[in-house]
Amino acid sequence: MDKIFLTSLSAEAVIGIFDWEREVRQRIEIDLEMSLDLTAAANSDSIDDTLNYKSVAKRVLAFVEASEFQLVEALAGRIAGLILAEFAVSKVRVTVHKPGAIRHSRDVGVIIERSRDA
């Protein structure tokens, strides 16, 4: 299966379980890997035959910036569901990074994989 990926989409969101986290916006970074058949696009060289990753990025960023989740797990799961529901992909891997969330660690996050078949 072919893949299209986006790395380090950056957004500001309300996310966290502590009271202070519910009052501020924190930086979230998202990596996406989307599986689909790219044969037609490779042959035609036409945007109409592929996944427009700019559209995916805009939709995901708008969703994240409007969200107010407590857990990065919930955010990642909803992003995966949104992509499967709104775009023609068979499988998606979503990585949500919450940099600086843990002292003495550069990054923390989750990776969720979902498929249309599941």
Radius of gyration of the chain (CA): 15
What is residue 105's predicted lDDT score, i.e. its pLDDT? 85
What is residue 117's predicted lDDT score, i.e. its pLDDT? 84
Q: Residues 54, 58, 91, 98: which is the catalytic one?
A: 98
CATH number at residue 20: 3.30.1130.10
Has 91 been annotated as catalytic? no
Contact 61, 69 (CB under 8 A): no
pLDDT category at 62 given cuts 50, 70, 90 is: very high
User: Based on the structure, what is the number of domains in the chain?
Assistant: 1
What is residue 97's predicted lDDT score, i.e. its pLDDT? 97
Q: Is the pLDDT of residue 99 over 80?
A: yes
Range of the domain at 37: 2-115
Q: Which two tokens stand for residue 38?
A: 């790219």
